[in-house]
C-alpha cells in the first residue's frame, strides 16, 4: 500500500524501490488530495518497474478520469477492483461488458463490488456472482477497502477466486456492522 494520506503527495524519487521490490503485491487506489497529480504520475512509474502482483481499486475519483488516463496503470494491473458504478463510469459500458474490456487490456482478474448484492468476479474463463452476507448494516464506511483486504488475503494464500470473493464479502460484512472503517475488522484472524 502506497498512500500518503489526504494532504501529502508522493514523488517517485521518494519511493524506496528496494523496499517495494520485496512486496508480493502492490495495492493502488486513488489520491484525492490537491497534489494528487504528482502522486498519480508516481503510481504510473511504479507499476512499470514493479514485478509482483498489482491490485488496483480506482475509486470514483480515478474512474472519472476515464480509461485513456488510467490505461498505463490498468495494463500493468493483475487484479482490478472497482465498484459497479465506477466500472460503468470508467468504460461507458455495463459492469459486465466493462469487465471484458478491462480483461482485453491484459488484466487477469476483474472483481466488481456490488454493495448489498455482493460481488462479481471474472478472469475471462469463469464468471462468479457471490452474494453478500445478510447482516445488520450500521455504517458502510470502508466496506470497499475491507472487501479488497479480504479478497487479496485469500489471493495471496492461493485460494480460488470463489473463496477470495467470499473472504472479501466476509471482511466487508464485519466492517459494516460497526461505525467507522476499522472498528469491525478482525485482529489476528485465523482462517
Ligand X SMILES: Nc1ncnc2c1ncn2[C@@H]1O[C@H](COP(=O)(O)OP(=O)(O)OP(=O)(O)O)[C@@H](O)[C@H]1O
Q: According to the 3-state scheme, what is the secondary structure of 50-84?
A: CCCEEEECCHHHHHCCCHHHHHHHHCCCCEECCEH
The residue (of 5 and 158) whose beta carbon lies closer to Mg ion is 5
73-104 burial, b at 16+ Cβ within 10 Å, e below that, comes to bbebbbbbbbbbebbbbbbeeebeebbebbbe
62 binding ligand X? (CB under 6 A): no
**By the 8 A CB rule, do 46 and 2 touch?**
yes
Region from 5-13, 20-28, 133-141, 155-163 binding ligand X, contact rule CB under 6 A = 133-141
144 binding Mg ion? (CB under 5 A): yes
Mark whether 57 is an active-site residue: no
Which positions from 143 through 162 interact with ligand X, judged by CB under 6 A? 143-145, 147
Whole-number minimum distance, CB 83 to Mg ion, in Å? 5
Whole-number minimum distance, CB 27 to Mg ion, in Å? 12
Q: Which residues bind Mg ion (CB under 5 A)?
A: 144
Amino acid at each position: 500500500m502506497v498512500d500518503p494520506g489526504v494532504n501529502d503527495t508522493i514523488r517517485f524519487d521518494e519511493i524506496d524501490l528496494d523496499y517495494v521490490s520485496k512486496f508480493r503485491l502492490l495495492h493502488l487506489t486513488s489520491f484525492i488530495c490537491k497534489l494528487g497529480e504528482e502522486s498519480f504520475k508516481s503510481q504510473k512509474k511504479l507499476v512499470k518497474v514493479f514485478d509482483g502482483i498489482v491490485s488496483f481499486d480506482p475509486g470514483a475519483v480515478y474512474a472519472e478520469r476515464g480509461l485513456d488516463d488510467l490505461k498505463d496503470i490498468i495494463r500493468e494491473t493483475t487484479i482490478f477492483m472497482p465498484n459497479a458504478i465506477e466500472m460503468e463510469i470508467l468504460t461507458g459500458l455495463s459492469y459486465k461488458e466493462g469487465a471484458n474490456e478491462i480483461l482485453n487490456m491484459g488484466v487477469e482478474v476483474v472483481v466488481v463490488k456490488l454493495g448489498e448484492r455482493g460481488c462479481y468476479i471474472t478472469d475471462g474463463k469463469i464468471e462468479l456472482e457471490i452474494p453478500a452476507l445478510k447482516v445488520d448494516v450500521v455504517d458502510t464506511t470502508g466496506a470497499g477497502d475491507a472487501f479488497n483486504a479480504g479478497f487479496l488475503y485469500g489471493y495471496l494464500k492461493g485460494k480460488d477466486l470463489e473463496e477470495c470473493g467470499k473472504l472479501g464479502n466476509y471482511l466487508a460484512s464485519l466492517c459494516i456492522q460497526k461505525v467507522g472503517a476499522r472498528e469491525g475488522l478482525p485482529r489476528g484472524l485465523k482462517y
